[in-house]
Structure 1
Amino acid sequence: MTPFLNAAVQHLGTNEFTVINGEEIEFPDGSKVSSDDLDAIKALASIIEEEPDVPDRVTARQFKLQLLTDGLLDQVEAWISTQERAVQIAFEYSGTFVRDEPMMQAGFSALDFNEAQIDAFFTSAAEL
C-alpha cells in the first residue's frame, strides 16, 4: 500500500479529510492523495462504511435492559410464565441470550418481530 493509501486508511474512519476539486484528498496532517489513488480510497471507504455486523448474542443484562427500554419486559415476562419450566429457567438464569436459539425464535415470533426488528434489538442491546 502506498503512503497515500496508508494515510487514507488512518483518516477515513474518522471522516477527517477534505476533497479538493473531486480529484485530490487532503488530510489534517497535510498529506494528500492523488486522483490515481482515489478509486482505491473509495473502495476502502465503502468497506469501512458498511453496516456493522449484528451480534449473534448479548448478555442477559443487555437483553433484559433492552426489553425494558423497548417497553417489552412485562409482556415478555408474562409470555415466559406461560411456557414450560425449562424455558422459564433458561430466561431467569441464562448469562447469554443467543439470537438463533429456539427459545429466542419462539419469543420473537410471539412478539411478531421480523428479522429487521430482531437485528435492531440485538444491535441496540449490544450497546448497553
Structure 2
Amino acid sequence: MLIRALCLSGLLALSACSTVQRIPGVPGGNREDETARLETILDARIVGNDILVVRVASNGCTQKGDFAVTVRRRGGEHDVTIERTREDYCRALLPNGVEIPWGFEELGVRPGSQVRVVNPVAG
C-alpha cells in the first residue's frame, strides 16, 4: 500500500548514483531530444531492489525500445524521466497497458539510492 501511494505521487525509493545519462541503444535518450515527449504512466514500482517497472498505455505494439530514459542526479535523489520516442499505432485492446522494466544497471543506478519518477501519473 505504501509503495502504491509513492507511485501515485511519482516518488519511488530506489538506488542510484549517476548524472544525466543517455541510455545506450535508445533513440532520443537524453532530455534535449525535441522528438521525444513525456509519457503519462499508469503505474510504477520496484521489483526486488534493482528493477524499475513502469506500466504505460499500449495499443499492442509498445516495447522498451519505444522509450528514452533520462536519469538526473539532484542532491541525494535521482530523477527518472521516461519519454516515448515512437508511437504505437496498433489496434489491440490493452486497457491495463504493458509493463516495461529497466534494470538499475541500465539506468546507471545503484540499489539503495533515492529515485523519483518525474512523469505524470494517470488518474
Interval containing the TM-score (normalised by the shorter chain): under 0.3
**More contact order relative to length (CA 8 Å, sep ≥ 6):** 2
Q: Which structure has greater helix proportion?
A: 1
Report the TM-score when normalising by structure 2.
0.24
Q: Which structure has greater strand proportion?
A: 2
Report the TM-score when normalising by structure 1.
0.24
